Amino acid sequence: MSDLLETDGERLLTAVRALLQRKGVVTEEEIAERRAATDNASPGQGARMVAKAWLDPAYRELMLSDGTKAAEALGIPMRGMPPLGVLENAPKLHHLVVCTLCSCYPRAVLGYPPFWYKSAAYRARAVRDPRALLASEWKTVIPDDVTLRVVDSTADYRWMVLPMRPAGTEGWDEARLTAIVREGDMIGVTIPSV
């Protein structure tokens, strides 16, 4: 029975693709590009962006002014995606990204959202008491003299965090820096460390 359903599903998908192509809504190349983008979407994409921004001031400026263009500059396809904004953490400013309505997430650069990101508990606590949430769930302590800004990712605009580069990484190359950037660092629940 499951083979029949799978075959029916595959047939339906093929028929929908063919119809969209015939109507000129999408090309075969666009479908292939979207499939490749979906297959390649992972936190590693965002980590590459962060590492490059830590090393290249011009790229950092591009990333902060237009995250979508910065992603595309590294070969990450963003066509059809909501715009990507990038929030820069600083010594006296820390950003935390949440989607208060559902689970809007910059999938092209961070992959699929972690299970907790979509939970009602995370969303509510991130807005109500972000410092306590970060300390209790991730052991991330944001000092009281650091402004903690909670930013809402929406269906119209997605956000990621450009964390501060950790001390002790001077002289590291891009690959080594990329390896220390975690998904949580780009959401703001964790801070990169060596």
Domain that holds residue 32: 2-37
The CA dihedral of 71, 85, 25, 102, to the nearest 10 degrees, is: 120
The answer to whether position 89 is within a domain reads yes
Question: Do 71 and 15 fall into the same domain?
Answer: no
- SS3 string of the chain? CHHHHHHHHHHHHHHHHHHHHHCCCCCHHHHHHHHHHHHHCCHHHHHHHHHHHHHCHHHHHHHHHCHHHHHHHCCCCCCCCCCEEEEECECCEEEEEECCCCCCCCHHHHCCCCHHHHCHHHHHHHHHCHHHHHHHHHCCCCCCCCEEEEEECCCCCEEEEECCCCCCCCCCCHHHHHHHCCHHHHCCCCCCCC
Question: Do 140 and 49 fall into the same domain?
Answer: yes
The answer to whether position 96 is within a domain reads yes
Q: Is 193 assigned a catalytic role?
A: no
The answer to whether position 47 is within a domain reads yes
pLDDT at site 19: 87
* Catalytic option among 2, 65, 103, 136: 103
Question: Do 32 and 47 fall into the same domain?
Answer: no
Question: Do 133 and 159 fall into the same domain?
Answer: yes
Measured CA to CA in angstroms, residue 138 lies from 49, 99, 131, 135, 141 at distances of 23, 18, 10, 6, 9
For the chain (length 194 residues), average pLDDT per consecutive 10?
A: 65 85 86 74 95 98 98 91 96 97 90 93 96 98 98 95 98 98 98 96
pLDDT at site 1: 46
pLDDT at site 5: 57
pLDDT at site 11: 87
pLDDT at site 3: 52
Q: Is 103 assigned a catalytic role?
A: yes
Distance between CA atoms of 107 and 23, rounded to whole angstroms?
A: 28
* Catalytic option among 65, 102, 136, 193: 102
* Catalytic option among 2, 42, 65, 104: 104
Q: Is 104 assigned a catalytic role?
A: yes
Number of domains in the chain: 2
